Every structure is written in C-alpha cells, then in structure tokens.
C-alpha cells in the first residue's frame, strides 16, 4: 500500500487539492443553481438503498478525482485480496475474513456454525431446549463488550419487529454490576441460557460478568449450569477451560475482527430472537453489497468512503454525525462509533510510518427527531461545519410515516440551503439566519427489514475499509485499545493491594489514593 504522508507524494492527492483551491468556494446553492440535474446526477442505487450525495460540497469532477485517488491507492485490488483471504492486516500478518461469513455457499467452520445455530433455534422454537431441571428455556442473556456486543445488540434492537415475542432476550456489557443485575432481573435461572461472547475468551469485563452469572445460577438452584451456558469465541480451548461444554461452543476464525463480526456466532442471541430465516436474510443482504463492491470499480461504499476522505483530509471536517430516522435503529451510531473510529483512528500507516495528512473522524449521532431537538442547533448555526448522514425508510413497522420522512427531507434541505436573511428581510431576524452550505448524505430504503439492515451494515463496513486503504492505514488492528486494557489490569492489581507503583505520575497516584480512601471509609 502506498504511503500518504503528505499530499505532494501523490499525483491524485495533488489534483484533489488543486481542484479544491479552484472550486472550493462554491456554496451548495450555487452548485444546484449551476446544475439543475445535480440531484439526479449525484444520486445512486446500491442494492435496495438509494444514496444521495448531491448535498455534499463536491461535484462530478470531484467524484472522478476521488475515484482516481482510489485507483492510485489500489482500493479495489484490496477488496479483491480481502475477499480471497489474502493477508491484508499487515501489523498482525492476517487476512480479514468477515465477508466469508455471509457467503451463500459457506464451507468449513462457517457452514458448521450456521447448521448448529439453525438446529439450536429449531430446538428453542419447538420447546425442546431445556435447562438443568428440565424446564423449557424461555429467556436468553447475552454477555459481551465492544465488537462482541455493539453490532449484535444494534441489530437486535433494529429488528425487534421480527423477534419472537415468547422469548425474553437481555443484553449486558461492561463492568458496572448494575448492568448485569438489570439484565438478570426477574428471570428464572432454570429457564435461562447465557451466551458469553468474547473473541479471545479472556476479555476481563465479559468473563467477570460470566462468573457472576454462574453465581446467579447456583443461587437460583441450578447446580449444574454448564448446559445452560454457551460461548461464541475464536479460542474454544479457553471457553472449555472456563467450564463451557464443547457442544455449546460456537467458534469462528481469529482473522475476523470484533467490529466486523456481526455475521458470526457473536450474533447467536440475535439469531435466537429473530429466527434463523431472518438471520439468513440479513446475511444475504450483506452478501449483496459484498458482491456489488467486487463487481463495480466505482461502487457506492467506495464513493462514501471517498466522500469521508474529501471531507476530512481536504475540507478539514472533524466529525461525522449519523442520524437514522427510525427509533428501531437508534443504536446504529453507537455501533458505527466502534466500526469507524476503531478502524480509522490512527496516525501510523500500515507500513509503520507517521501519517501527516488528517485521518479519522469522531462518529456520533442519535435517532431522528430526538436528534433534531438535541444537537441540530449546532449543525445549523454552529461555527463548525459537521457532515451528516441522514438515513430514512419509506415504511417502518409496516406503516408509512409521512411526518418522520418529511423531517428528514426538510433537515437535508435546510442544512444545505439555509435561510437567506435578505430574501426574508421582513420576517427573519439576524438571530434566525441559517447560513446553509452544511453537507449531508441521504441514504434511503423502502423498509427496515433483515435484508436491508444487512445491506446497511455491509455498506458502512466497506466504506470504512475503503477509507482506511486510501489513507494508507490498517483498518483491522487496534493497538491503542489493547494497550489501554493492559494498563487497566495493572492498576486493578494496585487497587486491590497496598502498594502503588512508583512509575505513576502524580495525578494517577493521587486518584488511586482517593479511590482507596473512599472505598475504605
């Protein structure tokens, strides 16, 4: 992969910056006035999705220059190498195999897992999945954190309309005991299974919660809880050592990153909720986008990644807001925070050099009209321009929602064109003036179904990978996260013992002392 330390070491980068210097001053109003066909020319279909980038601060020439940059950086070659299982995660010398999870002709471990997941769902559906005492299982508790939680929990919330109403599914992540207590509240230990999701099966937060559920089982009269505990992991031996029975372990390749693992057994709880058929439909939606990315050099996930590059590296935007106009999809921005920020929040290239061009953006958001009454004020009139993705559906819960859809369209329109004080001088004060020229991408779909959710997930996955390749960074490692975990484990030992390391700074030493004082008070 070619280094992108400066804009001057790349012909395509030079062309982009020169293009910005000559065209960057045009407002969105001027761009639309100059080209009445702009809306249709910069809108594209991708599977069942409709993607409109016409309200981004670019034009057809910008798009072509961005695609030239992608060709120079070998993005499409990278996609093909990734799909073939070549080594693309250079720092860990590993492939990235997440797209193999949704291949309609699976093989090996993937095929075995899908078969076993389908069988488990059938046993649950027919009432043949029972606990230690012979009672029918009617509740599931899913334990995980990060990539072993955010994606599958987001999809569970998004697809609640497809869930089994007779099955109670709860989710717990993190170390706060209250989180797990809420997840277990009111459940019968004799009728509950617990799914422990941890790629390495040594994740401190998840295993701490798993041990507490073992105590909960024992206190509830389930003396042999091993048959009611399941695992999703790339390290089955660690799950066996923990005490989970072999037939309850669903393993996947260590070359599937946590934030890309939504199609793996990490989503066992999701599958049990929505059923195997709907889960498979979601995989088909993901595969549809996978296929499109490989078949078309100018594919839409790549285009969206290039728009992110344009906004961040050329226009200097620091963040990306993602606002789905759907209550069901309210966890989508949290899922994307990990997917995009853990993948792209790096200043070292995949070949180990320092990157001097701006990379990575803060990703944040909330659902629809709630967001409008929260942070949209800053989007409309704030001093910083923040690009936004607006995601909408023609039908939600089998019902049309004209008011919700109208709000999405109105926000995109107002962000782009604002309110001209001169045109409305008689009715608009200077306080009401909206400058406009705030970039947005609109992504529309006919409904929020398992298949379309799969398409959205794959769209953002490939968009993230494409952005990383253009920037010359590895989207599949997370060394900062790993170091943070190790540092926390060292401090845990110190909090439980009397000695404090002399290597700490004065602030850390003081914080440890304050915690001990309050804990022992």
Task: Tell me the pLDDT tens digit for each residue of 120-142.
Answer: 999 999 999 999 999 999 999 99
pLDDT of residue 57: 97
410 found inside a domain: yes
Annotated active-site residue in 157, 205, 331, 342: 342
Q: Are 192 and 267 part of one and the same domain? A: yes
Same domain, 146 and 242: yes
pLDDT of residue 9: 67
Residue 425 has a pLDDT of 56
Distance CA 188, CA 209 (A): 17
- Give 7 or 481, the one with higher predicted confidence: 481
Flag whether 86 is in a domain.
Answer: no
For residue 482, pLDDT beyond 90: no
Residue 93 resides in a domain: no
Q: Which residue shows structure tokens 């210097």?
A: 21
To the question of pTM greater than 0.75 for the whole model, the response is yes
In this structure, are 211 and 333 located in the same domain? no
Q: How far apart are CA 416 and CA 26, in angstroms?
A: 12
Q: How many domains does the chain have?
A: 3
* 264 in any annotated domain: yes
- For every residue of 324-351, DSSP letters joined together read ES-STTTTHHHHHIIIIIIHH--SB-TT
Residues 186 and 168 placed together within one structural domain of the fold: yes
Mean pLDDT throughout 98-126?
96
Query: Same domain for 201 and 314?
Result: no
Instruction: Characterize 349-362 residue by residue with b for buried, 16 or more Cβ atoms within 10 angstroms of its Cβ, and e for exposed.
Output: bbeeeebebbbbbe
In whole angstroms, what is the distance from residue 152 CA to residue 335 CA? 9
Does residue 81 lie in a domain region?
no
Residues 421 and 307 placed together within one structural domain of the fold: yes
State the Cα–Cα distance between residues 27 and 217, nearest whole angstrom: 62
Measured CA to CA, the distance from residue 205 to residue 194 in angstroms comes to: 15
- The yes-or-no answer on residue 373 being catalytic is yes
Let me know if residue 84 belongs to a domain. Answer: no
Please indicate, yes or no, whether residues 257 and 384 belong to a single structural domain of this protein: no
Residues 260 and 343 in one domain: no
Same domain, 103 and 152: yes
When pLDDT is averaged across residues 235-249 and rounded to a whole number, the result is 97
For residue 1, pLDDT over 60 is answered with: no
Determine the structural domain holding residue 494 and report its residue range: 479-520
**pLDDT beyond 50 at 255:** yes
Banded model confidence at residue 294, pLDDT cuts 50, 70, 90: very high
Q: Which one of the listed residues 11, 84, 123, 485 is annotated catalytic? A: 485
485 is catalytic: yes
Looking only at the bridges linking them, the beta strands covering 139-143 and 168-172 are parallel
Does the residue 92 lie in any domain? no
CA distances from 148 to 36, 143, 181, 303, 493 (A): 47, 8, 19, 28, 25
Whether residue 223 is found in the same domain as residue 337: no
- CATH number of the domain to which 177 belongs: 3.40.50.10490
What is the pLDDT averaged over residues 305-329?
Answer: 97
Question: Parallel, antiparallel, or unpaired for β 440-447 and 192-197?
Answer: unpaired
pLDDT digits (tens, 9 = 90+) for 48-87: 999 999 999 999 999 999 999 999 999 999 999 999 999 9
Residues 510 and 443 in one domain: no
- What's the pLDDT at 3? 41
Active site residue: 128, 373, 483, 490, which one?
Answer: 373
Do both 376 and 486 map to the same domain?
no
pLDDT band at 520 (very low <50, low <70, confident <90, very high): confident
Q: Is residue 225 part of a domain?
A: yes
Which residues on neighbouring strands pair with residue 140, listed in sequence order? Answer: 169, 193
For 151-175, the pLDDT digits (tens) are 999 999 999 999 999 999 999 998 8
């Amino acid at each position: 992969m070619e280094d992108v330390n400066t804009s001057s070491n790349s012909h395509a980068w030079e062309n982009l910056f020169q293009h910005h210097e000559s065209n960057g001053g045009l407002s969105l109003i001027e761009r639309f006035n100059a080209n009445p066909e702009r809306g249709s020319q910069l809108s594209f279909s991708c599977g069942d999705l409709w993607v409109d980038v016409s309200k981004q601060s670019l034009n057809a020439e910008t798009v072509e220059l961005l695609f030239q940059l992608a060709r120079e950086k070998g993005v499409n070659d990278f996609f093909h190498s990734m799909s073939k299982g070549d080594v693309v995660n250079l720092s860990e010398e590993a492939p990235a195999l997440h797209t193999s999870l949704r291949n309609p002709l699976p093989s090996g471990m993937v095929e075995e897992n899908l078969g076993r997941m389908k069988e488990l769902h059938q046993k649950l559906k027919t009432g043949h999945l029972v606990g230690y005492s012979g009672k029918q299982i009617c509740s599931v508790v899913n334990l995980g954190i990060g990539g072993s939680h955010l994606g599958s929990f987001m999809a569970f919330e998004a697809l609640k309309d497809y869930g089994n109403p007779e099955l109670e599914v709860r989710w717990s992540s993190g170390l706060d005991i209250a989180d797990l207590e809420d997840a277990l509240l009111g459940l019968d230990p004799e009728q509950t299974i617990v799914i422990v999701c941890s790629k390495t099966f040594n994740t401190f937060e998840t295993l701490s919660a798993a041990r507490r559920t073992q105590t909960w089982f024992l206190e509830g009269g389930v003396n042999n809880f091993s048959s009611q505990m399941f695992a999703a992991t790339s390290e089955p031996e660690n799950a066996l050592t923990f005490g989970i029975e072999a037939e309850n372990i669903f393993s996947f390749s260590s070359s599937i990153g946590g934030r890309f693992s939504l199609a793996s057994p990490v989503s066992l709880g999701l599958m049990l909720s929505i059923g195997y058929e709907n889960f498979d439909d979601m995989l088909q939606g993901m595969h549809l986008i996978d296929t499109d990315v490989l078949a078309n050099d100018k594919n839409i996930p790549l285009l969206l990644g290039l728009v992110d590059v344009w906004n961040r590296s050329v226009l200097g935007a620091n963040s990306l807001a993602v606002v789905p106009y759907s209550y069901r999809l309210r966890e989508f921005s949290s899922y994307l925070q990990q997917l995009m920020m853990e993948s792209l929040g790096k200043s070292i290239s995949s070949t180990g050099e320092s990157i001097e061009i701006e990379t990575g953006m803060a990703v944040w958001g909330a659902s629809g009209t709630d967001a409008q009454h929260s942070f949209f004020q800053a989007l409309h009139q704030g001093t910083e321009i923040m690009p936004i993705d607006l995601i909408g559906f023609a039908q939600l819960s089998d019902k049309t929602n004209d008011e919700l859809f109208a709000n999405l369209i109105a926000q995109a329109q107002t962000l782009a064109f604002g309110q001209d004080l001169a045109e409305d001088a008689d009715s608009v004060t200077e306080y009401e003036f909206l400058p406009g020229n705030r970039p947005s991408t609109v992504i529309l779909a006919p409904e929020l179904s398992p298949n379309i959710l799969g398409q959205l997930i794959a769209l953002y996955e490939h968009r993230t990978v494409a952005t990383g390749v253009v920037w010359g960074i590895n989207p599949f490692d997370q060394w900062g996260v790993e170091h943070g975990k190790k540092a926390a484990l060292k401090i845990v030992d110190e909090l439980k013992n009397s000695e404090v390391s002399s290597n700490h700074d004065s602030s850390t030493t003081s914080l440890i002392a304050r915690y001990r004082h309050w804990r022992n008070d």
